[in-house]
Each structure stands twice: as structure tokens, then as C-alpha cells.
Amino acid sequence: MPNWAYNRLEIKANKEKLEEIKNTLKIEDNDIDFDSLCENGNYGCKWNASEACLEDDDDDKIAYIFNTPWNPPTTFLEKLCEKWRDVEVNYVVTEEANLFVGMGSNVDGNFMYIQEDDIFSENNIRNYILNVMNEKGLNADDYDIDSIVEEAKEKYTWDVDDYDFENEFEEIALTLYDDDAYDSLVESFDNFKN
């Protein structure tokens, strides 16, 4: 029996593009089937998606949740990003036995993926904050970055024993990185100007 990795794949695009993606990924009764983009069972993980379902279906966003054995389906995700270069992809995965968390996104048709044993490490939080500041056109030298990192660590730290990985993986992986936390983080920057 495998160690199951719990996956959430969110895709943002216009309604027509989302319909195209949904129609391509769905095979028979499976909302997401890796065979739709991959040949010979080469998915990046051992088997196809298990317990897959379309969780969100809006005009500008769709989201799938599914399980994979041991690993994320990186080859499938690479093919997805290659095929639809212009869509926003937000991907998170957790695996409870080896305690890893991974995140990925579409960058100009390339699936960029990071996997960490501790995605909320001080270094990862610092890099994320610096990236957010760069996106917002803010000069990091104008802020007390150490204090911002410390506040983020206190606010977003998690303990593995506090979560049911299968049912709460999204909360684990997105606590710091979701839209609300992102907006809150940006708003907090003014509190730490030098």
C-alpha cells in the first residue's frame, strides 16, 4: 500500500480556456485523468490519480483534488503547463509519511516545483516575502525584513501533529501562500518600515 500524496491543482483562465482544459483532462468518469496528457503511464508518479474530483468550477477558476502514490505527478503537470502556457497554475501537495510539502506553478509554459520538508522554514518565508515585495515594486532595504519574517513565522507556523493530512492538506500548504494571507502580508509591510 502506498503512502498517499494529497494534491490540489488550481487553474485560472478565462471561461472558454477552462472548458477546454476540463474537457481534455476528463476521461470517462474521471474528472482528471493523467492519460489525457501523458503516454505510457509516465505521470511522474507510479499510478494515475485516485479519488479525483473537480472541487471548484467557476467562470475564472477550476480546482481539482486527487491522491497520488508516493509522489506528485510532475510529468503530467509539466505537460499541462506546456500545453496551456498562458494559464495560471497553483499546485500544492502534501505526503504524510515522509512529511513533505510541495508547491508548483506555471512559468511561461514550464512547471516550476519546489518541495520542502519544512515549507514554513525561516529561509522559505524570507524568500517568499522578498518575492512578494519585488512583485509589488517595494525596496526591501526600506523595511525591517527580520521583523516581518518573525511575525510571519509566529502567525503561520504549523505542527504536523495538529493536522489530518488527507482532509486538511490545503490548510497546511496554503496557510501563508493563499490570497488572503498574501493580501494581509502586503498590508503588514507598512508596520515594518525602517
- Residue of 187, 194, 189, 190 lying closest to 130 (CA atoms): 189
pLDDT tens track, the chain, 194 positions: 778 889 999 999 999 999 999 999 998 888 999 999 998 889 998 999 999 999 889 999 999 999 999 889 999 999 999 999 999 999 988 876 666 778 888 888 889 887 766 556 677 778 778 877 887 888 889 888 888 888 877 765 555 455 454 454 444 444 444 556 666 666 776 777 77
**Domain regions of the chain by residue span:** 4-116, 122-192
Beta-bridge mates of residue 106: 111
Per CATH, domain 4-116 is 3.30.70.1270: yes
E-strand stretches of 58-181: 61-69, 88-95, 100-107, 110-116
Is 157 within 8 Å of 121 (Cβ atoms)? Answer: no
E-strand stretches of the chain: 4-12, 50-57, 61-69, 88-95, 100-107, 110-116
